Amino acid sequence: MLGSGLVAAFVELPAGKAHASSGGRTHLYGYVVDTRKCIGCGKCVGACRAENRVPDEFYRTWIERYTVYADGEVAVDSPHGGEKGASPINKGDIDRSFFVPKLCNHCKEPNCVQVCPVGATYVSREGVVLVDEKHCVGCGYCIQACPYGARFINPKTWVADKCTWCYHRVVKGLKPACVTVCPVGARQFGKVHDYNDPVGKLIKEARLQVLKPEMGNQPMVFYKGLDKEVR
């Protein structure tokens, strides 16, 4: 019992730390994806690439297309991360098909931050998960630890790279590039605790889901209309 108590005390430290050493860190922002609105145009992926100089063949955000056939088969694709839009589906008896935009979930309890051996991945005061490019050793442990495939080693900088929710824009009061260019309002970004903010209101009132809740990371990207097939 004493042993397990000690282990529990040790293991729970990161969570404690997340609150204690954060200098009053709150998870100020949230992101809501409405999968029923997304048309898979890929504008968001292009805007992200342009805004953040994301290298070719890597993605800070991408769009997945799910196609559920009548026989129960599920096909998922995301050619070029959905950046060039989706090609038509020409086969089979389809029950339903829909798009799911993905990005870093800026989790409350992020695995990536826990495993970074040098503390280069951290959570900002606003709750945004960031990477210190000048400190990262490029070991890739955070990439292995992320359950969402949201991280990659940037082939130009050789450090871990990921969505920052366009932190450089957010601190100036702007929205992330992907949210700004979305023509149908499928991506929304705002303050979690502000009821006057549409995102704050949604998070409070709507029935939202998160990806892989069983991981215990407490994502701050919420999904509206998430299908059971989405992982």
Task: Please report, as ranges, the residues that interact with other proteins according to CB under 8 A.
Answer: 13-14, 17, 57-59, 62, 64, 74-78, 81, 102, 111, 114-120, 135-141, 143-153, 157-159, 215-216, 231
Shortest Å, Cβ 120 to other proteins = 8
- Best CA proximity match to 34, nearest among 206, 216, 149, 170: 206
Comparison of 104 and 192: residue with beta carbon closer to other proteins: 104
- Max Cα separation, the chain? 62
Comparison of 129 and 146: residue with beta carbon closer to other proteins: 146
Shortest Å, Cβ 61 to other proteins = 10
Q: Report how far residue 194's alpha carbon sits from residue 205's, in angstroms, rounded to the nearest whole number.
A: 12
Contact between residue 123 and residue 18 where contact means Cβ atoms under 8 Å apart: yes
- Please give the structure tokens belonging to residue 3: 């042993």
Shortest Å, Cβ 58 to other proteins = 6
Comparison of 154 and 192: residue with beta carbon closer to other proteins: 154
How do beta strands 129-131 and 221-224 pair? unpaired
Q: Report how far residue 97's alpha carbon sits from residue 64's, in angstroms, rounded to the nearest whole number.
A: 11
Shortest Å, Cβ 96 to other proteins = 17
SS3 208: coil
Comparison of 51 and 132: residue with beta carbon closer to other proteins: 132
Q: Report how far residue 35's alpha carbon sits from residue 100's, in angstroms, rounded to the nearest whole number.
A: 6
Secondary-structure percent of the chain, ordered helix, strand, coil, rounded to 5: 25, 20, 50
Shortest Å, Cβ 201 to other proteins = 31
Comparison of 12 and 95: residue with beta carbon closer to other proteins: 12
